[in-house]
Amino acid sequence: MAGLTLVTGAGGFIGGHLVRDLLAQGITVRAVDKKPLEEWYFRSPEADNIVADLQLADACDRAARGVADVYNLACDMGGMGFIENNRARCMLSVLISTHMLLAARNQGVERFFYSSSACIYPAHKQTNADVTALKESDAYPADCEDGYGWEKLFTERLCRHFREDFGIKTRIARYHNVYGPYGTWDGGREKAPAAISRKVAMALITGKREIEIWGDGEQTRSFMYIDDCLHGTQMLLHSDVEEPLNIGSDELVTINQLVDVVEEVAGIQLKRHYKLDAPKGVRGRNSDNTLIKAKLAWAPGIPLKVGMEKTYRWIYDQAKAREEGRPYIAAAA
């Protein structure tokens, strides 16, 4: 099965999109996730779809057989509410990454992509809403997001040493807030773009012209549309870039401005209530894209309004169908 590509976490949001994109290019794909097939965000029949728990070494070894390239996206994660309340669960994803790297070594995998996160960056560099964009070199001295961020940073180092010691071409992306259609939009694991879209959609559907915002709404973030994520991920895997790279938009907005964008798309204005004791993460975070532009001559550039319009309209359709008792995509596992 020369040229076979493995996508782990293929039942999730980014993984599902990636499988579809690879298949559209004529690439042979093995897709693996621990969720039952009926709970996958996408289930592409053209792929070799396997249900397996990749926390187990034997499952990783079977998944990697005959594989040339690995996109390792599998982990236990969600939005800030999930991350702050499930630190041990997030850290246990290290079992997936460790066993997948060992399997890649044992099975002669050529290239191994690891999806890290902007949560590895030090908290003390993200205390102001008017944040200085984070450069890759800012990762050390380390002061990561507790739980999830530390697991990601540890695995970055593990990838580096597997490259140095065993010759696997490991590539690492630090994702910044990926969003888009066919992602989690309810249930506790959704991130801000999906949560805001759902709340605006429900306000329109129910006629209750109010919205709850976590924090004071002045915390800042950048949000990357899924198409940019897919493009950057594949470019990085097939590049000669050995150090971790930010893959994220540098279009910095407040959460209040994110709400403004969704309200404009929906054609509605809502009364805002601020839940100041809700999980809200760091005060400000943005991606410095200097290095990715230098290394790949590219950076994410899809405007927030363009991506949010597509995202909101998909979530509105799902929320409307749910309210009316019609079939909908929950995408919340």
Residues annotated as catalytic are 148
User: What is the spatial distance between Cα 251 and Cα 331, in angstroms, rounded to a whole number?
Assistant: 27
Among all chains, which residue has been given the structure tokens 């507790």?
A: 146
Q: Which among 45, 15, 49, 16 has a CA at the least distance from the CA of 31?
A: 49
Burial 168-203 (b: 16+ CB within 10 A, else e): bbbbbbbbbbbbbbbbbbbeebbbbbbbbbbbbbbb
Using only C-alpha atoms, what is the Rg of the chain? 19
Among all chains, which residue has been given the structure tokens 């990601």?
A: 152
Q: Which among 126, 112, 121 has a CA at the least distance from the CA of 74?
A: 112
Cis previous bond, 193, omega within 30? no
Among all chains, which residue has been given the structure tokens 């994220």?
A: 248
Cross-strand partners of 70? 6, 112
**Cα angle for residues 129, 130, 136 (degrees, 5° grid):** 95
